[in-house]
Amino acid sequence: MTATKPRQSATRAAQLGFLQAINQAQTEEMERDERVVLMGQDLRANVFGAADGVLAKFGAARVRDLPLSEAGSIGLAAGAAMAGLRPVVDLTVASFVFVAMDQFVSQLAKVRYMFGGQARVPVVVRAALYYQGGTAGHHADRPYPMFMNVPGLKVVVPSNAADLKGLLESAIRDDNAVLCFEDANLWGRKGRSPKPADDVEHLVPLGVAATPRTGTDVTVGGIGQGVYLAIQAAAELEKDGVSCEVIDPRTLVPMDWPTIEESVRRTGRCVAVDPANRTCSAASEISAHVVETCFDALRGPVVRVTTDDVHVPFSPALEKQIYPSKDKVTAAVRRTLA
């Protein structure tokens, strides 16, 4: 019997990439609300590619180049927010957050609480997770779990461009500090997604997970590129008759626990895939929570697939092995089934 080949549609649905998503979200929100200001290093020259046309459109008052002063920049954003603006700060590479850690923790996260709710800090900080590219110890970190440990901050890690756009717009409208970590491994084809319609507001609420794949045997939660690896592993496991449900929390704080719990209760098994270092990772938090709340439903161990607890080495001969991979996810799922 010969199968008829499905007809390819002549035009493929329009796709959205990470950089376009950021640019659209920032532009749309700046148009919508004149309190939104954009700041970052080398922003006006658009070195990182997400600020196309922003300066021409909104002018130098609302689009600011920052000096190399990360701590000052985050503190300034906090102050500007307390005084009525809604700053979006592009910190470019995620490992530069460490320079500003005091301002993130002591000001951005704590002022509202310490001042008895008087302060409002609608700040969005964006940073890209560059890793897997030979950039070595100082550029290749994945620091979002550290911020999960700081009350008062919201943390998002999108895995595709449409989610990035929708989450960023929600983040800019949120009255709290939101940190958005963009997995640079998804900037290319992998993270592209169908482009949302231009005339419809595309908002993805913070704290709501997505389920990019439904299944019955194992729940695989993925963070950033972990979602992509989980989907790939699920496709492979399907050949052996294993049905994986893939959940993408998208927001790590607040985490959509009900969706995760419901899924794990149904499948009885859980794997968490997280590109961050293993100890105290987002995967660790998911594992602990699942064990605490779904213990009676579990039929196997909860397994984490994370980056080994080392710094990122430069040499390509050393780097690749430390991160989660499709094979590591597949092996982890098999462990839960054993």
Partner 1 sequence: MYAVRLFEEATIALFHAGDLPAMVHLSIGQEAAAVGACMATTSDDYMTGNHRSHGHPIAKGARLDRLMAELLGKATGVCGGKGGSMHLADFSVGSLGESGIVGSAIPVATGAGFAAQVRGSDQVALCFFGDGAANEGVFHESANLAGTWKLPVVYFCENNGLAVSAKISDTAAVPDIAIRAAGYAMPGVVVDGQDVLGCYRATSAAAARARRGDGPSLIEAKTYRFHEHAYGLAVPVPYRDQTVVDSWFDTVDPITSFAGRLLAWRLADEADINAVRAGVEQVVEQAVQFAKDSPYPEPEAAYTDLYAAPEEVDA
Ligand X SMILES: Cc1ncc(C[n+]2csc(CCOP(=O)(O)OP(=O)(O)O)c2C)c(N)n1
**Residue 236, both tokens:** 């492979």
- Does 134 bind partner 1 (CB under 8 A)? Our answer is yes
Task: Pick one of ligand X, partner 1, none as the site partner of residue 169 (Cβ within 5 to 8 A by kind).
Answer: none
Half-sphere exposure of 298 (CA within 13 A, CB side): 18
Question: Closer to partner 1 at the Cβ: 97 or 264?
Answer: 97
Residue 71 CA, chain-centre distance (Å), reads 22
DSSP per-residue string spanning 154-213: EEE--SSHHHHHHHHHHHHHSSSEEEEEEEGGGTTGGG-EEPPPTTS-----TT--EEEE
Question: Closer to partner 1 at the Cβ: 6 or 67?
Answer: 67
Least distance CB 102 / ligand X (angstroms): 14
- Does 20 bind partner 1 (CB under 8 A)? Our answer is no
- Does 42 bind partner 1 (CB under 8 A)? Our answer is yes
* Cβ-contact 260, 286 below 8 angstroms: yes
* Cβ-contact 280, 258 below 8 angstroms: no
* Cβ-contact 96, 127 below 8 angstroms: yes
Which positions lie near ligand X, rule CB under 6 A?
41, 68, 70, 96, 99
Task: Pick one of ligand X, partner 1, none as the site partner of residue 1 (Cβ within 5 to 8 A by kind).
Answer: none
Question: Closer to partner 1 at the Cβ: 85 or 101?
Answer: 101
Question: Closer to ligand X at the Cβ: 58 or 96?
Answer: 96
User: What burial class does residue 22 get, using C-beta atoms within 10 Å of its C-beta: 0-12 exposed, 13-18 middle, 19+ buried?
Assistant: buried
Nearest Cα neighbor of 188 from 167, 208, 160 is 160
Task: Pick one of ligand X, partner 1, none as the site partner of residue 313 (Cβ within 5 to 8 A by kind).
Answer: partner 1
Least distance CB 140 / ligand X (angstroms): 12
* Cβ-contact 129, 224 below 8 angstroms: yes
Least distance CB 50 / partner 1 (angstroms): 11
- Does 9 bind partner 1 (CB under 8 A)? Our answer is no
Question: Closer to ligand X at the Cβ: 96 or 228?
Answer: 96
DSSP per-residue string spanning 89-158: EEEEEGGGGGGGHHIIIIIIITHHHHTTT------EEEEEE--SSS--TTT----HHHHHTSTTEEEE--
Least distance CB 144 / ligand X (angstroms): 18
Binding piece for partner 1, criterion CB under 8 A, among 76-84, 136-144, 147-155, 160-168: 136-144
| Catalytic member of 138, 139, 202, 289 | 139
Half-sphere exposure of 266 (CA within 13 A, CB side): 16
- Catalytic-residue membership of 289: no
Binding residue for partner 1, selected from 217, 271, 319, 336, defined by CB under 8 A: 319
* Encoded amino acid at 259, one letter: T
* Cβ-contact 259, 247 below 8 angstroms: yes
Q: State the number of binding residues for partner 1 (CB under 8 A).
A: 39
- Does 18 bind partner 1 (CB under 8 A)? Our answer is no
- Does 44 bind partner 1 (CB under 8 A)? Our answer is yes
Distance, CA of 319 to CA of 100 (rounded, Å): 27
- Does 138 bind partner 1 (CB under 8 A)? Our answer is yes
- Does 79 bind partner 1 (CB under 8 A)? Our answer is no
- Does 89 bind partner 1 (CB under 8 A)? Our answer is no
Question: Closer to partner 1 at the Cβ: 135 or 243?
Answer: 135
Question: Closer to partner 1 at the Cβ: 67 or 84?
Answer: 67
**Residue 117, both tokens:** 């709710």
Distance, CA of 96 to CA of 11 (rounded, Å): 41
Active site residues: 139
Residues that bind partner 1 (CB under 8 A): 41-42, 44-47, 49, 65-72, 95-96, 98-99, 133-139, 308-311, 313-319, 321-322
